[in-house]
Amino acid sequence: MKLLHIDSSITGSDSITRRLSRDIVAQQQAAHADLQVSYLDLAEQAPHPLSMDALGFRMAAQDDTLSETQRQENAVSEALVSQLIDSDIVVIGAPMYNFTIPAQLKSWLDRVAQAGRTFKYTENGPVGLLGDKTIILALSRGGIYSANPAMEHQESYLRSIFGFMGVSDIRVVLAEGVNMGSDHRERGLAQAQADIRALDPTAVAA
Ligand SMILES: Cc1cc2nc3c(=O)[nH]c(=O)nc-3n(C[C@H](O)[C@H](O)[C@H](O)COP(=O)(O)O)c2cc1C
């Protein structure tokens, strides 16, 4: 069984989402002796944001008409999308920045949202191709959005895009209100640990 572990927080060892994603991966490792883990640190090594050179996977250009830059960018996209398709479980540490996910994580999503690989267009609309995977989101945010859900584009966005790519098993570990004083922070962190304990690590895509 293969697990892809992704972090995207820029705050290094202070990061809550990095701690949560690490705890989730450790829980999965304890439950699955055969687990192969690969790791992507998008704060260190994000793909470039999409550009015309990086759009190769959306165009039918023949390989010999591509520039060296386009070939390299295609190889980056291909490596990322195959790594995702090949994974059974994907654990993603994703902080909220300006009401949504970090740009680094969006750049990764822009490389893996590929027609023909992770979704396809049909006469009845788009169909997701990622299928039987489990996605576990490790989320943190400074505020609390239950009273103002229209401002929340972090969890809702990730649920939408992975749902679009065909994943229905999406689980969420959430620390919220972590910048609203120590009481809120402790409560948010405790809730996230409770979310992790409530994940059933044996009931994941196999
Ligand atoms: C650049 C930046 C933007 C942020 N924007 C928001 C925001 O829009 N809403 C919010 O509730 N918290 C916001 N926060 C707070 C973070 O979501 C919170 O500190 C979270 O724990 C960060 O994840 P991390 O600890 O893994 O780095 C922001 C933090 C940073 C650094």
User: Which residues have a Cβ under 8 Å from the Cβ of 62 and sit 6 or more positions away?
Assistant: none
Ligand 1, atom 15: nearest CA belongs to which residue? 142
Cα→Cα distances 5→2, 46, 164, Å: 10, 14, 20
Q: What's the gap in Å between 43 CA and the centre of ligand 1?
A: 14
Ligand 1, atom 23: nearest CA belongs to which residue? 95
Helix residue ranges per DSSP H, the chain = 16-31, 68-85, 103-112, 155-164, 182-198
Residue 66 has what pLDDT?
87
Segment 90-137, tens digit of pLDDT: 999 999 999 999 999 999 999 999 999 999 999 999 999 998 999 999
Ligand 1 binding residues, C-beta < 6 A: 9, 11, 15-18, 95-99, 140-143, 178-179
Q: Residue ranges of the chain with pLDDT lower than 50?
A: none
Measured from the Cα of 19, ligand 1's closest atom is: 26
- The upper half-sphere exposure of residue 178, i.e. CA atoms within 13 Å in the direction of its Cβ, equals 18
On whether the CB atoms of residues 80 and 108 are closer than 8 A, the answer is yes
Q: Which two tokens stand for residue 101?
A: 């996910």
pTM value?
Answer: 0.96
Q: How far apart are CA 84 and CA 109, in angstroms?
A: 10
Residue 17 has what pLDDT?
98
Q: What's the gap in Å between 190 CA and the centre of ligand 1?
A: 18
Residue 58 has what pLDDT?
65
Q: What's the gap in Å between 142 CA and the centre of ligand 1?
A: 5
Domain covering 2-198 in this structure, CATH number:
3.40.50.360
Residue 65 has what pLDDT?
82
- Classify residue 73 as exposed, middle or buried by CB count within 10 Å of its CB (0-12, 13-18, 19+): buried
Report residue 83: phi and psi, to 5°. -60, -40
